[in-house]
Amino acid sequence: MSETTTRSFMDLVRSLKAATAASYKLAPAAVLLMIAVVAMVVGISLWSSRMMMGVVLIIVWAVSLLVYIRTDNFGEAALAMVAGLLTVYSVEWTPLRFIAFCVAWVGFAAVALLIASMKVAASTEEIYMGGAVFVAPESSQIKGLYSVLRAVGKKTQYGQLGPIGRAEIVRFFCFRRVPIEMMRQMLQTTENVSISSRIDPLRVAAMFADFSKIHTADSRSSAALVDAIDTMLKRSSVPPEEFVTAFENSRHMVLGRRLAVSRYFQLLQEGLESGVSPQNMSTWLEERA
């Protein structure tokens, strides 16, 4: 019991350390910029009570819009808007009240940003650590693998995958035993395909993880095979969703070496283009194996 408690406490300390480090990198620039902009707006607004009220109205409008975007509920957003408007028009705005309002609002926004960045940093640290623990042959190598995995998921070309999304994909690659040297390119290809097809990134990652297992049956390099499949997805005359679904339902044909890699993808594309249902692709391919 004592050992488990100690381990949990140390895990908490490590998570807090990583979160603090990430927050320190993110928050200072954002907070300084926010303070500079707010100071400029407040300084200009103090010249007129109408301008002070205008700034508050803009804040109320922005908050109401964020509520609507977050909840997709017009009623809640309208209620927030009405409550804000009633507050704005029931208060006699003086310079001191306006400054107090701005300081309180900016302080809240800054703390919320800091907490959000700490949560993201803690989550990504935990995810990468989970992947490192899973693939590390020895406990002494966990820390080094953790750093490697973080470097793999540091960023992508288009930035459409968030930090937690990238970490989850890298950890998934660890679970599927994808070679670390292939992860970087496969992560980028996963982003490319998920952007163009609007398919869940983890489904795309699962498909490319299978490709990492079957590439040894092909004379081409793993990188060339991933590029070839990416090209096939984009040039196929069927939606990428159907291609991925057909692969998911027939992957055992190529993973089990019942069909050669090149033959499998040739038949897969022919079947889809001839109208074979993705759900029936396995049966169709077995008839031609």
Q: Which amino acid, residue 236? A: S
Q: Which residues contact 226 (CB under 8 A, 6 or more apart)?
A: 182, 185, 186, 189, 208, 211, 215
Give the number of other Cβ atoms within 10 Å of residue 119's Cβ: 13
The rounded mean pLDDT for the chain is 79
| Cβ–Cβ under 8 Å, residues 124 and 164 | yes
Q: Most confidently modeled of 52-56, 114-118, 268-272?
A: 268-272
Cα separation, 35 vs 49, whole angstroms? 21
- The model's pLDDT over 124-158, given as tens digits with 9 standing for 90+, comes to 999 999 999 999 988 889 999 999 999 999 888 88
Cα separation, 54 vs 60, whole angstroms? 10
pTM above 0.75, yes or no: no
- The model's pLDDT over 209-262, given as tens digits with 9 standing for 90+, comes to 888 777 654 445 556 666 677 677 777 778 888 888 998 999 889 888 888 888
- The model's pLDDT over 70-87, given as tens digits with 9 standing for 90+, comes to 888 888 888 888 888 888
- Long-range contacts of range 102-105, CB-CB < 8 Å, 24 or more positions apart? 102/38, 102/41, 102/42, 102/55, 105/59
DSSP-based helix, strand, coil % in the chain, nearest 5: 85, 0, 15
Residue 235 CA, distance from chain mean position: 26
